[in-house]
Amino acid sequence: MKCIDEVPEADWSGKRVLVRSDFNLPLDGKGGVSDLFRLTQGWKTIEYLSGRGARVICISHIGRDPGESIEPVARAMKQFGAVVFVPDVSGAMAQEAAKAMKDGEILLLENVRRDARETENDETLARELAALADIYVDDAFAAAHRPHASIAGVPKLLPHYAGLLMRDEVKAIDAARAPQNPSFAILGGAKFETKAPLIKLLLEKYDHLFITGALANDVFKARGLLVGRSLISKELPDASILNHPHLLAPVDVTVENSAGQASVKKPEGVGPDDKIVDIGPDTVALLAPCIAEAKFILWAGPTGMYEKGYLHYTQALAELISQSSGQKVIGGGDTIAAIEATGISKDGLGFLSTGGGAMLEYLLKGTLPGIEALT
Ligand code: 3PG
Ligand code: MG
């Protein structure tokens, strides 16, 4: 995988470069976007290419197919630089716009998933997209687990490079696949059945793996405890996970009863009317020394139902992690959104990945279809 900054800078001038970004930003429902993290991270590549005279044609998906218009993202991009939105994916309007570009200009094409051929990885769409440009750059790490036309198809047809963000993401998560010891990982989220292989891998590679979020409920249930109204997966962890010496689970939990009242209980004290919504203070105290001594920290998944306002312990962990001097990689699912919701500074939190599912899949497999296509 060759990165754009390995190409002689003068070579970019006048080239039409199709940049596949992941600008799948949350929409605010009022014609805008509610979070700029992926855009801030992805802008570096666009700026790099445009600043060297390339004609930058950006493309991304937003939402699930067929999806909404990506125009709100184009409006948000204008805070960073001059961007022209072209409400077409690969048809006559996109072709005309690409042809008329001047050096350094930036276009954003319409949501690529509005063309059904994108998710089908259809070669005819890949050809139409490739025809817009001389060079292809993939900066969409967060979508690299999708074998779609703009990700896996186009690089077969054009000279291709990784963008700066793609390069940084791969480097950071490669480091997380071979952590320096002592190492500490946090894995949250739901659906144990989809995360079991990753849990097994992290138990092997990390000195401690703390399982949190709804996955911890599965651990409690598998240990024979009552979990009340808590979210539970279809499958439960087996003895090889439950008895693993590297496994850490919450030693206290925040529960909400059906009247909406929250309290902290020991896992053994959870009753039929309780719903586990977060960890508790004793768990934070248990984890504090692991965080303090770790040379490498991986964090994927908030501790609780942050979208319901249960943010306190995610914030407590984020504060401890900011104070640690180890290397840190954070991402996967809603972790960054949860940290942003706490309002704490992201400085000191190390590398923040734009990847949700892509990060977890890359952690497990060490490759993804979009990365394979670049190598
Ligand atoms: C994400 O938000 O995880 C990526 O943009 C991929 O989106 P998808 O899950 O809809 O393919
Ligand atoms: Mg996803």
Kindly state if the Cβ of 357 falls inside 6 Å of ligand 1: yes
3-class DSSP string for 70-110: CHHHHHHHCCCCCCEEECCCCCHHHHHHHHCCCCCCEEEEC
Distance 26 CA to ligand 1 centre (A): 11
| Model pLDDT, residue 333 | 79
| Model pLDDT, residue 66 | 82
What is the DSSP code (8-state) at residue 34?
A: S
Q: Provide the residue type at 25 as one letter.
A: L
The residues that bridge with 327 in the sheet, in sequence order, are: 296
**20, 21, 22: residue to mutate for ligand 1 pocket, most atoms within 8 A of CB:** 22
Kindly state if the Cβ of 22 falls inside 6 Å of ligand 1: yes
| Model pLDDT, residue 285 | 98
Ligand nearest to the CA of 147: 1
Kindly state if the Cβ of 356 falls inside 6 Å of ligand 1: yes
Q: For a pLDDT cut of 90, what percent of the chain falls above it?
A: 98
Tell me which residue has its CA closest to atom 6 in ligand 1: 143
* Residue 142 Cα: closest atom of ligand 1: 4
Residue 300 has pLDDT above 80, yes or no: yes
Kindly state if the Cβ of 148 falls inside 6 Å of ligand 1: no
| Model pLDDT, residue 185 | 98
Residue 65 has pLDDT above 80, yes or no: no
Q: What is the mean pLDDT of residues 317-331?
A: 97
Instruction: Tokens for 198, please give them.
Output: 């990753």
Give 349's pLDDT tier (boundaries 50, 70, 90): very high
> pTM of the entire structure?
0.96
Most confident of 225-229, 332-336, 339-343: 225-229
H/E run at residue 288: helix 281-293
Residue 108 has pLDDT above 90, yes or no: yes
Kindly state if the Cβ of 146 falls inside 6 Å of ligand 1: yes
| Model pLDDT, residue 286 | 98
Ligand nearest to the CA of 142: 1
The rounded distance, in Å, linking the Cα atoms of 197 and 206 is 14
